[in-house]
Structure 1
Amino acid sequence: SLLLNEPDYGLQDTLQRAGYSVAGERQVRQLFFDRLGIPQSGLYLPPYEHVFRKRELIDGIWHFPPARYDGALAVEQVYRVLGFQRDEVSVSPLFSGANIPGDHLGLMLVFTGLALQGIAADDDGNMALRAAINSFIQEHLGEWVDVFCESLPLSDTNGYLGALADAVKEASDLLKKWCTDNMRVGLPTAYANAH
């Protein structure tokens, strides 16, 4: 996921071919760390659901509480139940380790992507998995992700954070569409709510 690993030259090249004007690799990498990884940077925007949801606007400045290693227990329980091994996901050392909360937006997007691949590969349609993923998306990838994407490119003169926000927003919108389509084609609401 683009939110879990610092950008490299290949990504910069891909973004430029996609029409984004992105400055040099060093500047892009610094933006990544300042915006997503280092709370003391002054530019930090926490990619953790439990932190971002508790944001406060004080005198025109956003304030975020510190990330808590146990702040993502509900998300991590879903990971355990569905067999997602987050330590198998390739991430920057900045986001690895047992003390990093599992509600990092990048991890949640990887998780839902892998789960949807599993659903697509299952000929039986696995209604229980569909319901669980539908519920996960609705509970954990909702309004806060939209606000995060709107906030991510603020003050970015480089173009990288705008491209990143566009990619995350597109993924989020596709997941919400999947939920809507999933409900329309036969996942009864009562079934989804019961599981």
Structure 2
Amino acid sequence: MCGRCRSWILPAAASCSMTRVHGWRRRRRVSDPGVTEQLRAAAALLLQPPDERTSSILQSASGERLDPGEARQDFYDTFCIPRSGRYIPPYRHVMLGARELRDYWYFPPPRYNGGDGLVSWYETIGFDVSRLNADVLLTGPNRPLDHLGYLLAFLSTVARSTDENSELFELGSTFAEEFLSEWPRRYVSLLSRANSVYLHLVADALNEALDRVNEYFPPQAIKNVEDMQGETSGVVAD
């Protein structure tokens, strides 16, 4: 999300309920509530149609004229209805198989078990996608678990709980590296090409949320190199 849109993060985030994490005891490091709220708000944009209040906030923050009815239709056509002619599937396993041919994108059909590899990750912290506040068209027992909104909501929950267990930083970094590498940027790029002010604002929000993920949950390889460099510097200094 461009800086001009940040004023709507809190209202948008408040509308996306999350699963609480249980069982973490140690308190080592304080989490950044701004990251939690931003990821939750970005997830909400993919899981819920904009109501008049959200549209008004987006319009005021961005300076763009936004018609609430058109914004809602854009949401359903782009995120929910495969046969709309405008559908861009927000699923990792679909986007990994997407192909561009002569300026057209071709997407394989979503598989109900396409995100089953995420079950163990979600269970680690008791994350339950059925408890998220999502539109009825995006809920149900056979929905793939690798929806981008779910992935961002999961990391929002992890970020909120890092003050209870700093080891969750490593979990979040590993998760982001495995499931949010490259394909979300392609997805955002496709949204930004749509003929829709609303989708452009959603693309901005997702881009900035992904930037925050990279900052807050850096890849483990980079983190390990930095740790090694710190240890080496300490030896030299002594």
Cα distance in 2, alignment partners of residues 185 and 162 from structure 1:
36
| Kept after mapping to 2: 8 A contact 1:22/1:160 | no
Deviations 1:22-50 (Å, cap 9, x if unpaired)? Answer: 43211111111111111111111110011
CA distance in 2, matches of 1:20, 1:97: 36
Taking the aligned partners of 2:79 and 2:219, their CA distance within structure 1 comes to: 32
- Which of residues 168, 177, 193 in structure 1 aligns to 2:206? 168
Q: Which has the higher contact order (CA 8 A, sep 6+)?
A: 2
Measured after TM superposition, the shift of residue 71 of structure 1 is 0.3
Conserved? CA contact 2:174–2:219, under 8 Å: no
Q: CA shift at 1:98, angstroms?
A: 0.9
Counterpart-to-counterpart distance in 2, 1:50 and 1:22: 34
- TM-score using structure 2 length: 0.72
- Aligned match for 2:217, one of 168, 172, 179: 179
Runs of 4+ in 1 over 4 A off after TM superposition: 181-189
Unaligned runs of 5+ in 1: 190-195
Which aligned pairs between 1:42-81 and structure 2 lie closer than 5 A? 42-81=85-124
Gaps of 5+ in 2: 1-43, 229-238
**Deviation (angstroms), 1:73:** 1.4
For residues 131-170 of structure 1, the aligned pairs below 5 Å read 131-156=170-195, 158-170=196-208
Q: How does 1:5-154 map to 2 (within 5 A)?
A: 5-120=48-163, 122=164, 124-125=165-166, 127=167, 129-154=168-193
Q: CA RMSD in A?
A: 2.1
Q: 2:173, 2:219 within 8 Å by CA — same for their partners in 1? A: no
- Alpha-carbon distance in 2 for matches of 1:186, 1:114: 27
